[in-house]
Amino acid sequence: MTFDHLREIYCVAWGDMRFLRHTIGSVMIMSLVSPLLYLLAFGYGLGQGQTMEGVSYIAFIIPGIVALTALSASFSSTSARMNVQRLYYRNFDEMMLCPLRDSSIVIGKSMLGIVRGLLSCAIIFAIGLILSDDLMLTPLFVLTLIVSCFTFSLLGESAALLAKSHQSMATFSSLVILPMTFLCGTFFSVSSMPDWFQAILYALPLTYSSTLMRESSLGWEYSWIFLAVLSAFAVAFYAINIYLLKTRKI
C-alpha cells in the first residue's frame, strides 16, 4: 500500500471521522444500550448462578455480547451513513467522480464502522473485566476484535451499496442482522444445537467472531482456522464492494 493510497483512504474517512466527533455522545449511548440490556437480562436475569462450558454464565456471555456489539456498531454506523449519503444527500456520487481508487473508497468508508465498533466494544469489555475474574485481555482478543469490526463494517457497506431504498435496508437488517444477533453463539454454545442447524450457523460470520472472542478472552485453545474463515468473510465483502463500485451497480 503506497503513501498515495493511504492519503486517499484518509481523505475518504476524514468526513466520517468529523461526523463521529460531533455525534460521539449520542452514538456511544445508542451503541451501548442494547448490549447492556442483554447483559442484564441474560447474564443476571436468566443466567444468574449458572455455568456454561466450565465458566460462569456471565463470563461466557460477555465475549458474545462484545462480538454482538462489534456487529451492531460497525454494521449500523457504516450502512446508515452510506445509505443516507447515497439516497438522501446524493453526495456519494460526487465522491465517485473524484480521482480515487475504488479500494480507497471501500477501506475509507469502513473506518467509521471500525472506530465506532472498537470504542463500543472496549467499553463493554471493560465492564466485563470488572464483573468477571475469568476474563482477560489478550493480544489475540484485540486481533479478533479488529478483524471482526472490519468484517462487519464491510458487510454494512455491501448492504448500503445494494440497497435501493431505506426500506430495503430495514428489510436486510430484519432478515440477516437480527437472526445473527440471537443465533450465532452469542448467548449459548453453538455445539448444543442440532448438527443441521450448526451448519447454518457456521455459514454466518458472527458465529466465528463470538467463538474466537470467547476463546481468546477465557484462555481456551484458539481456533486459527476460525480466524482464517472470518478473514475470508472480510475479503469476500471487500471484493463485493469493489465489484459494485467498478461496475457502478449502486
Q: What is the pLDDT of residues 168-181, one digit of tens each?
A: 888 888 888 888 88
Q: What is the pLDDT of residues 79-132, one digit of tens each?
A: 888 888 887 777 777 787 778 888 899 999 999 999 999 999 998 999 889 888
Q: What is the pLDDT of residues 21-37, one digit of tens each?
A: 887 777 777 777 888 88
Domain residues of the chain, as ranges?
Answer: 3-42+53-246
* Other C-beta atoms lying within 10 Å of the C-beta of residue 212: 27
pLDDT at 122: 92
Query: Who wins on pLDDT, 66 or 188?
Result: 66
The three-class DSSP label of residue 51 is strand
Grid cell 465458566 — which residue? 55
**Would strands 51-52 and 55-56 be described as parallel, antiparallel, or unpaired?**
antiparallel
pTM as predicted: 0.90
